[in-house]
Amino acid sequence: MAAGLGWKVILVTLGLFLEIAAEVIKLNITSNWKPEFGWEVICSWEMLPNDTLQSVRLQNNGQQFMIYRPEIHGASRAEIFRTPENVMNVDCTLTAMKGRRGKCVLSIEPYQPPTIDFTYTCEVSGERPKFMIERKDYVVKTLVPPSAAKLEYKAYEEVPPGRVMLNCTSSGLPAPSLQWTVADDKVQADFTGRLWNATSKLWHVWSFLAYTRSERSSTVTCTPEVHSHNELIKGAPAMYSSANAFGIQAIIAVPIVLMLHR
């Protein structure tokens, strides 16, 4: 009898817990990189059926930069915030009556090369009598994986015979490094460079390697790499293959076809 009563208490307690856990504001944050612009971060919410939105507070690295209150601002509020590093455009909009559903879209366009991650916080509060609050932090990583390597080459038939100048390029954030290998051996580039592209909002990098074809066929590979958050991220490599020492050449792209110039 006592054992049966104990199970009833456990089931009732569990039911109350699940009921309380279900009574929360649904809050979600997503982000994506928009080419030739920057980041778009979206905070979306859904209140309980009997609740009403009181406010949405937005923070950047723990510092509040905007509050949206439908009671004051109406069905939407848009603001622009400018800093020496970037411009932030925020647009908060209700998508259902009484603010039950809505979203705040944060667009971030960098003016200068971004170097550090930032934490975006979205806090949604309900009205009386419960005054429910839901808050989420979202880390926006300063990372755009390296683009597929592109390889160009120019062959020289004068002395020394079979001399080839290879130029490899890639883009990404942070600036990718370009790794050269001949067959299975790593080799140093003759020259490397990088440039911040204000249009693409990415680093453009290039690397030159002077290579002399041998009598035996060999392959030269250029691989873009980025070290980020203790992780090595590689872009698709590009390869140059010399079929023989008499000037038969080919470029092999993995996995894309590359533009060739003589």
| Higher pLDDT pick, 78 / 17 | 78
199-224 confidence digits (pLDDT tens): 999 999 999 999 887 655 678 999 99
Task: State which amino acid sits at residue 227.
Answer: H
Residues 6+ apart with CB under 8 A from 83: none
Please check whether residues 53 and 120 belong to one and the same domain: yes
Please check whether residues 89 and 172 belong to one and the same domain: no
Please check whether residues 238 and 175 belong to one and the same domain: yes
- Average pLDDT estimate for 25-45: 96
Residue 5 within a domain: no
Residues 172 and 211: their CA atoms lie apart, in Å, by 26
Please check whether residues 33 and 136 belong to one and the same domain: yes
Calculated CA dihedral for residues 197, 199, 201, 205, nearest 10 degrees: -30
Residue 21 within a domain: no
Residue 88 within a domain: yes
116-135 confidence digits (pLDDT tens): 999 999 999 998 778 899 99
Domain boundary among 106, 140, 174: 140
Residue 98 within a domain: yes
Residues 235 and 170: their CA atoms lie apart, in Å, by 8
74-83 confidence digits (pLDDT tens): 999 999 999 8
**Per-residue pLDDT, 241:** 83
Please check whether residues 134 and 93 belong to one and the same domain: yes
Q: What angle do CA 173, 164, 192 make, to 5 degrees?
A: 25
Indicate the number of domains in the chain: 2
pTM: 0.77
Please check whether residues 195 and 222 belong to one and the same domain: yes
Domain boundary among 117, 140, 163: 140
What are the angstrom distances between the C-alpha of 129 and each of 21, 54, 156, 242?
18, 12, 81, 76
Please check whether residues 74 and 133 belong to one and the same domain: yes
Residue 124 within a domain: yes
Q: How confident is the model at residue 243 (pLDDT cuts 50, 70, 90)?
A: low
Q: How confident is the model at residue 18 (pLDDT cuts 50, 70, 90)?
A: very low
Residue with tokens 């923070």: 59
Residue 11 within a domain: no
Domain boundary among 140, 162, 179: 140
Please check whether residues 122 and 171 belong to one and the same domain: no
Burial class (CB in 10 A: 0-12, 13-18, 19+), 87: middle
Q: What angle do CA 168, 172, 176 make, to 5 degrees?
A: 55
Q: What angle do CA 92, 96, 98 make, to 5 degrees?
A: 85
Residue 117 within a domain: yes
Three-class secondary structure of residue 132 per DSSP: coil
Residue 6 within a domain: no
Please check whether residues 179 and 245 belong to one and the same domain: yes
Please report, for the domain that includes residue 219, its CATH number: 2.60.40.10
Please check whether residues 135 and 162 belong to one and the same domain: no
Please check whether residues 63 and 87 belong to one and the same domain: yes
21 has pLDDT over 50: no
Q: Are 180 and 222 in contact, with CB atoms under 8 Å apart?
A: yes
**Structural domain boundaries enclosing 195:** 150-253
Q: State phi, psi for 76 to the nearest 5 degrees.
A: -160, 160
84 has pLDDT over 50: yes
14 has pLDDT over 80: no
Residues 143 and 114: their CA atoms lie apart, in Å, by 9
What are the angstrom distances between the C-alpha of 93 and each of 31, 55, 154, 257?
17, 12, 55, 44
Please check whether residues 183 and 128 belong to one and the same domain: no
